Amino acid sequence: MTELHQAMEAVLGLLIVAMGVALIVRRLRLPYTVVLVLAGLALAVTRALPGLRFTDEQYAAICFYLLLPPLLFEAALNLKWEHFSRNAGAIFTLAIPGTILSIGLVGLLCHALLGLPLLQALLLGAIISPTDPISVLSMFRTLGVPKRLSVLVGGESLFNDAVGLVIFSVLLEAARAGGPISVSAGVASFVVVCVGGTVVGAVLGLVASRLTRSIDDHLIEVTLSTILAYGAFLAAEQVHIGGHHFSGVIAVVVAGLWMGNYGRATGMSPKTVVTLHTFWEYATFVVNSVIFLLIGVELSRLEGVTQPGTLIGLVFAVYLIYLISRALVSHGAGYILSRVAEAVPVAWRHVLTWGGLKGALSMIMVLRVPEGLRGWAGSDFLLPATFGVVFLSLVLQGLSIGRLVKWLGLARRSEAAARFERCIGQIIANRAALAALEGLRGTHVLTSRLHTGLARAYQEETQELEEQLDEMHREEQALEAVQLAEARRLVYHAEKRALLDAYQRGIISADTLDSLVGRLDVQHEGMDAEQEAPEL
């Protein structure tokens, strides 16, 4: 009972700290994840929450099985298929050959320059190559960075996590076996793990998406999405072929893409979509908060290391090697893509390089390495090296990425655009209030006389706001294009909802639904491409 009590205290304490940090960063405009790591470090040093002390195995299990699936699922759930499909070539180029090349470069450079044994160097490369740009994407939305750049950063992160973890698992198996690295065996294992995870995720995602067509209860459908997130992950991890288990990470990503696009478009009511978004937004906030606080807690392990000066120098060397490798991959891939497909401007390549922050997955992977394989030169090296690189990336890159984006001229959200959005938001709120007042007119709650007085205030304010919008359109012609694009987006979703309603009432067949929705999607993709063209 005492252990349960301590665990409850620890969870409650983490939520309180996360809420406090969120309130602080709103006022000071600091990167949320960076402040969370520092708060976790403070918790560990002060030992304010004794229930937070975990063994390596406990920490890795909590993060890998409990906290990682919802993070991946939410990111995949919100990746729109039209954006993903249009940028799939660039995303997969960065995420698959890019991640493999990055791991190889980090490993070979650490082996050649630092003297780290090759297998351990490659393991370190696999551990620190996956990116975690949560705070970066949040900052992108605030600054109005081009949508396609956000899609590239988010999509690459989603899939390079999976690729990095698969390669890490292959290397770890080779290290445990103690034999030489077999390239052919590694490639075969990589293919089995990736294809198996994709199949498991696609099948379960399709089944769950089809189930939403027969369910018209937003709470049950949100519960189904939770079952899918964890179920796809655990199911893939349980399947073994030729001594290799399928990738749970890839399975949950593919399942999230299915439900977020096919399931949401064909089987969910507007109420379910809103509830689903709100639930996973909250779940991601809690999970991210807990993970980054725990990262800070785990960083406190570095306080007892021997020869700290030498270790700090080696950590900085590994960090610089990673940055060089990341820059070579980002700029190389961007150059090739610009030659054979849509252009990836040089400024975007700089952001892709500097926006590759490290996070939870790197911490999880290093703690899954047996202690006997983490040592080098008489002490544990992989653990402090990984923690150091994660910390440096969060602090150095996390605190400066916003300035880099502005300096490169990629921040397009002007004060006029923010003022325009506030006006639009207030008009929407006022019209909702007027609609509610109209429903109350003549009831025992609100007489006609009182209704007239209340409605007049909202109508006058709405008229003033609409006049301000007209003035903004005259001053900033680009704002009219923004409003037109938003209107098109809302009309597109209204058309899809109407078609789905007609199908559910038996007015049109499934084939007709698919045909008409497909035509709408093509039109919408064309409008999106037209809107983004000036940004390229």
**Sequence ranges of the domains in the chain:** 2-407, 415-475, 483-536
Q: Which tokens sit at 146? A: 């081009």
What is the residue whose two structure tokens read 């559910």? 504
Q: Are strands 240-241 and 244-245 parallel, antiparallel or unpaired?
A: antiparallel
Q: Which of these, 293, 358, 291, lies nearest to 39 by C-alpha position?
A: 293
* CATH-assigned architecture of domain 2-407: Up-down Bundle (1.20)
* pLDDT on residue 242: 67
What residue type is 239 in one-letter code?
A: V
**Paired residues of 379 in beta bridges:** 376
Contact predicate 387/312, CB 8 Å: no
Which of 311, 444, 295, 443 lies closest to 377 in space, CA to CA?
A: 311
Q: Residue 257 CB: number of other CB atoms within 10 A?
A: 23
Task: Indicate the burial class of 131 (C-beta count within 10 angstroms; 0-12, 13-18, 19 or more).
Answer: buried
| Tens-level pLDDT at each residue, the chain (536 residues) | 466 666 677 778 778 888 888 888 777 766 677 777 778 777 766 766 666 666 767 777 787 888 889 988 988 888 888 778 888 888 889 888 999 999 999 999 999 999 898 888 999 999 998 887 766 776 777 677 788 888 888 888 888 888 888 888 888 887 777 666 666 777 777 788 888 899 999 999 999 998 988 887 888 999 999 999 999 999 998 887 766 778 888 899 999 999 988 888 777 877 788 788 889 888 888 887 887 777 777 666 665 556 667 778 888 999 999 999 999 999 999 999 888 888 889 999 999 999 888 877 887 788 788 877 777 766 678 888 888 888 888 888 888 888 888 888 887 655 566 677 778 778 888 888 878 777 776 666 667 777 777 788 888 888 888 887 777 766 665 556 656 666 676 677 677 778 777 877 788 887 787 677 777 766 766 655 555 444 43
Name the nearest CA neighbour of 236 among 183, 125, 162.
Answer: 162
Count other C-beta atoms under 10 Å from residue 474's C-beta. 10
Question: What six digits make up the tokens of 75?
Answer: 């990111």
pLDDT at 109: 94
pLDDT of residue 245: 75
Two structure tokens written together for 160: 């390079």
Q: Check: CB of residue 369 under 8 Å from CB of residue 56.
A: no
352 vs 326: CA distance, rounded Å: 9
H or E element at residue 376: strand 375-376
CA distance 476 to 85: 32
Q: Helices (H) and strands (E) in the chain — how many of each?
A: 25, 4
Alpha carbon of 333 to those of 166, 348, 352, 353, 405: distances in Å?
21, 12, 11, 11, 20
Question: In sequence order, what E strands does 138-272 have?
Answer: 240-241, 244-245
Q: Which residues contact 509 (CB under 8 A, 6 or more apart)?
A: 503
Strands 379-380 and 375-376: antiparallel
Beta carbons of 74 and 284 less than 8 angstroms apart:
yes
Q: Exposed, middle or buried by CB within 10 Å (0-12, 13-18, 19+), for 184?
A: exposed
Please state, in angstroms and rounded to a whole number, the distance separating the CA atoms of residues 179 and 434: 74
CA distances 347 to 146, 152, 350, 524, Å, are 12, 13, 5, 28
The neighbour count for residue 411, using CB atoms within 10 Å, is: 17
With beta carbons less than 8 A apart as the criterion, state whether 373 and 175 touch.
Answer: yes
Q: Which two tokens stand for residue 11?
A: 């969870």
Is pTM beyond 0.75? Reply is: no
pLDDT number for residue 367: 78
Give residues with Cβ within 8 angstroms of 162, minimum separation 6: 95, 194, 197, 247, 249, 250, 253
Structure tokens at 267: 């089987």
Amino acid at 284: T
Q: Is 178 exposed, middle or buried (0-12, 13-18, 19+ CB in 10 A)?
A: exposed
The H or E element containing residue 523 is helix 510-532
**Helix (H/G/I), strand (E/B), else coil: 375:** strand
